[in-house]
Structure 1
Amino acid sequence: MMRILLFFFILLLTIPSSAQNKQLLYNYDYLPQTLMINPGGETNFDMHFGLPLLSQIHISAGSSGASLYDIFKKDGSSINDRIRSTIHKMDRNDFFTVNQQMEILSLGWRDKNRRYFTAGIYQELDAFAYFPKDPAVLAYEGNRNYIGENFDFSDVAFTAEALNVFHIGFTNYYSKDFNYGFRGKIYSGVFNAYSVGNRGIFRTENSPEGPNLYRHYMTGVDILINTAGWADMEESDNITGLGMMNKIARKAFFGGNLGLGLDAGFTWYPEDHIQVTGSILDIGFIHQSKNVENYRYYGNYTTDGIELLFPEGNSPSYWDEWEDELDRNLKDETLTNSYVTWRPVKLNASVDFGWFENSEPCNCYRPMGRRRYYNHIGAQFFAMKRPRGLNYATTLYYDRTFNEKFRGKLTYTADSYSFSNIGLLLSATIYNFNVYIAADNLLDYTNLAKARNASVQLGFQLLFSRE
């Protein structure tokens, strides 16, 4: 039972620590949210207002190496065997992600030069953790069967942050075949936790000449966990729920740790029916300087264990002596050093082919000479920077405009989570009111326990076009 509880404790530590590929919204010119993924994208309207807090709600979570079904499936084995099998199946490059975004305010407008401007605020929670393979094996199974093997503490690596993003940007139509865009961002951090680049080895050797059978080594240990925005929360033991919300709100609106960022993108038409796009998002950083606490654990230690000898009339406190010796060799410090975190940079690129020309009248206030099509097929590439490299995804899609009021998009995505990710987006506009809903991994919805990744997005907004 204790092993089961320990496994779930490790799992809970890693999960709340990104699935941020928005392949359903990318290059979808009926929605203003496409400009948040490609500032140089195109739009089929001239003004938009998002319903506050409702124009985009995005929630996604994933695990690249295991699902809940791997633990709880009924295959005749014990749950201990399934947990052990899952731990050994995963490696140090498997990861857990959680991402949530919500648009607080969103608006956009087109000027007389056909440039489209956007501005707004969105809130984001992003957490990412690699599976700590060696510490998980050591904690779950112990070291009895691993004599002479190293357990590497560098497997522990995670990032987590909550922040508000204030942004303003524009899309400039350079010609009828090419447009580009930029977006500037100010980040206002609420909370951050960052622990990457940890070092250290735990090793057990046979020690037949020693007082015990085994000798244990902890060498080169240097574990650092940086946090920002949390220290004053811990100190607020008597604060009310409303007071806590006020404190979080102040941090979210320029009272937290601040940073700057930039997005850029383009759209190019080598031919009327062929479209090429690309974007790079969140080139930026946050200077973590307020309410900072750094927890560092470092040093070297060798022990043969505790020698339990009991002299007559005197029983020394061996546990206390061993703890004192441990404290002398492995230091535990709490510091207040500021640090810089870089936002996870995201790359997008796509190629799109359109056919079956839409002959309905164009709004000539937008760029002229561009043919429109009811059907589109295409491919999109996505990459995201994480501490140990890039995470990739490739998407094939079919985009269909049924009429001026209704449109849909169907996607197939292969990524780190699975090779069977089917997604669907539906968008409807009645008069000026638009609603959309998007979800992926639809094949797993019959049994969510098997899903390694799930993502849902929806929103409500007003769209306007000039005649």
Structure 2
Amino acid sequence: MKFVPILFFVLLSNTLWGQDNHLLYNQTHNPQSLMLNPGAAYEKTDFHIGVPILSNVYASVGNTVLNVDNLFNTRDFNTNVAASLDRISAKDFVAFNQRIDLINFGWKSNSRYYTAGVYQESDAVLNFPKDLLQLAYYGNAGQNRSYDIGQINFRGNLQTVFHFGINQQVNDDLHIGVRSKLYTSSVNIKSVRNTGRFISSVNQQGFLLNQSISDLNLNIQSTGLQSIDQLTPGNILIGSNYGLGFDFGMSYFFNERLEFTGSILDLGFIRFTKDTSQDIYEGSFDYGGLVIQFPNFGSEEDLIDYYQDLLDDIETNLLGETTSRSYTYVQPTKINLGLSYNFGKEARPCTCSLKSGGKRSGNQTLSLHAFSMVSAGNLFYSLNGIYQRSFWKVLYAKVSLGIDQFNRPNFGGGLALDVWKFNLFLNVDRLNHFNNIYNAEALAFQFGLNLKL
């Protein structure tokens, strides 16, 4: 079926729960917020531990242009496919991110709060190769055009991260933090900065199709794909390739109402050395059609294998090489910035100022949060206005309105509950699409359960 490539991309981006955590960012009553800013002014407990596997579960998926309704509506399906192909560009992409905390804990020591833990994460970014999708759908019969092979652009990684962090209260106004990370991975794939064009043209007589590939430089690097059917939970958890990374963060109170926060996450890399594969194709090739030749049977010539000759010609002109060279995967670095203003009355007489070490006053907060990340050459960004209110220092409600790379207004909401020693939270993004998820380009959710002592 010629529409399968298009259908695959659209269904991928709408059937997975699909890197922005603005609803959790700076929730200082929640120890998980330290994962987004190791320098946050966390309302320190003596100790916290997350419920294994349930302390922080996050998933998001989105694409910048298509949704299920673009294909499946009252109009003719083939018309919808053609319209979708016209709508997309090579700059549009599908993105997926998933994360589960396997264990997370922290403890207070004097003016410092230490954290440690392990989480599993997978993420992928895939650009829509518009030219190649059109080639797959329409074919190139009778076409006089050039197709950009360089639109092939993707990266994906499955990793486990071991981390240790320190949150330091410098004074009443300033908190700083740093976290070190050990990355381990057994599965990775990337192909970026490719070049090349496939050109088809009809000759002057209008019946012979000339085809050529020019300036091809296609490089696909992968790890673990050759033996992916042999993966076990053990070697997913502890991969055969390792890397290092760091997070940095800070929080500064201008006064008891106004606070500035910022963090840089995942400044790091993984060096892939085991079970790797690099497939490189480069060169140029011109094909003007098969020239039929009849063998001289009197001289006992064999039938000519035209297609084998064609394959030999392609292999001669388009050099292909497969090696097991090592390569480096640079982590997508994330930047968070926040500015918040606290106001309103205290929910109840508060004696936590010395314990928290901060100047936060009031039970309501208005804030701005900005996020950016570059992955596979694509810019991820968001800017959100957020309102939060606490009730009796037990119930926390949060709503947000913003814009991001998925090009639509985004409404989000979150609830958190501190009951006895437990902190339970739930954040859901893109609430404006939940009445009809078939119209959604992106969805995200997050929840967790932590014990605070």
TM-score category (smaller protein): over 0.9
Aligned to 2:234: 249
Which one of 136, 139, 142 corresponds to residue 139 of structure 2?
A: 142
d(CA) in 2 for partners of 1:365, 1:288? 47
d(CA) in 2 for partners of 1:10, 1:131? 8
Aligned to 2:70: 70
1:253-285 Cα shifts (integer Å, max 9, x gaps): 2x4210000000111111210111111100000
Instruction: Among all aligned residue pairs of Structure 1 and Structure 2, give the percentage whose two residues are the same amino acid.
Output: 28
Structure 1 stretch displaced more, 287-296 or 311-320: 311-320
Give the C-alpha shift of residue 442 in structure 1. Answer: 0.9
1:341-352 map, 5 Å:
341-352=329-340
Secondary structure of 1:33's match? Answer: helix
2:394 matches 1:405:
yes
Which one of 260, 273, 276 corresponds to residue 257 of structure 2?
A: 273
Secondary structure of 2:3's match? Answer: helix
1:31-180 map, 5 Å:
31-46=30-45, 47-74=47-74, 76=75, 78-113=76-111, 115-144=112-141, 146-147=143-144, 149-180=145-176
d(CA) in 2 for partners of 1:401, 1:42? 17
Query: 1:371 and 1:455, CA in 2 relative to 1: closer, same or farther beyond 3 A?
Result: closer
Query: 1:326 and 1:13, CA in 2 relative to 1: closer, same or farther beyond 3 A?
Result: farther
1:104-156 Cα shifts (integer Å, max 9, x gaps): 0000111122x111110000000111111111111211224641x32111111
Aligned to 2:25: 26
Unaligned runs of 5+ in 1: 237-243
Give the C-alpha shift of residue 317 in structure 1. Answer: 2.9
Query: 1:182 and 1:16, CA in 2 relative to 1: closer, same or farther beyond 3 A?
Result: farther
Query: 1:12 and 1:218, CA in 2 relative to 1: closer, same or farther beyond 3 A?
Result: farther
Structure 1 stretch displaced more, 166-175 or 312-321: 312-321
Query: 1:452 and 1:9, CA in 2 relative to 1: closer, same or farther beyond 3 A?
Result: closer
Query: 1:134 and 1:417, CA in 2 relative to 1: closer, same or farther beyond 3 A?
Result: same
Aligned to 1:226: 221
Aligned to 1:291: 275
Aligned to 2:327: 339
1:239-263 Cα shifts (integer Å, max 9, x gaps): xxxxx42xx423522x421000000
**Length, aligned pairs only:** 447
Which one of 287, 291, 301 corresponds to residue 303 of structure 1?
A: 287
TM-score, normalization by structure 2:
0.93
TM-score, normalization by structure 1:
0.90
d(CA) in 1 for partners of 2:187, 2:179? 24
Contact 2:167 2:176 in 1 (8 A): yes
Query: 1:42 and 1:369, CA in 2 relative to 1: closer, same or farther beyond 3 A?
Result: closer
Q: AA paired with 2:34?
A: L
Superposition RMSD in Å: 2.3
d(CA) in 2 for partners of 1:64, 1:459? 28
Secondary structure of 1:175's match? Answer: coil
Q: AA paired with 1:111?
A: S
d(CA) in 2 for partners of 1:375, 1:364? 16
Q: AA paired with 2:412?
A: G
Secondary structure of 1:127's match? Answer: strand
Aligned to 2:194: 198
Structure 1 stretch displaced more, 295-304 or 20-29: 295-304
Query: 1:392 and 1:16, CA in 2 relative to 1: closer, same or farther beyond 3 A?
Result: same
Aligned to 1:241: none
1:378-411 Cα shifts (integer Å, max 9, x gaps): 1111001123253211001101101221111101
1:316-327 map, 5 Å:
316-327=304-315
Contact 1:62 1:454 in 2 (8 A): yes
Give the C-alpha shift of residue 6 in structure 1. Answer: 3.6
Runs of 4+ off more than 6 Å = 12-19, 311-314
Contact 2:116 2:164 in 1 (8 A): yes
Contact 2:17 2:443 in 1 (8 A): no
Give the C-alpha shift of residue 19 in structure 1. Answer: 6.5
Query: 1:12 and 1:455, CA in 2 relative to 1: closer, same or farther beyond 3 A?
Result: closer
Give the C-alpha shift of residue 44 in structure 1. Answer: 2.1
Give the C-alpha shift of residue 302 in structure 1. Answer: 0.3
Query: 1:409 and 1:9, CA in 2 relative to 1: closer, same or farther beyond 3 A?
Result: closer
Contact 2:150 2:196 in 1 (8 A): yes
Q: AA paired with 1:88?
A: D
Contact 1:218 1:301 in 2 (8 A): yes
Give the C-alpha shift of residue 40 in structure 1. Answer: 0.8
Contact 1:17 1:129 in 2 (8 A): no
Contact 1:56 1:458 in 2 (8 A): yes
Aligned to 1:354: 342
d(CA) in 1 for partners of 2:165, 2:214? 50
Contact 1:187 1:260 in 2 (8 A): yes
d(CA) in 2 for partners of 1:374, 1:364? 13
Secondary structure of 1:80's match? Answer: helix
Unaligned runs of 5+ in 2: none
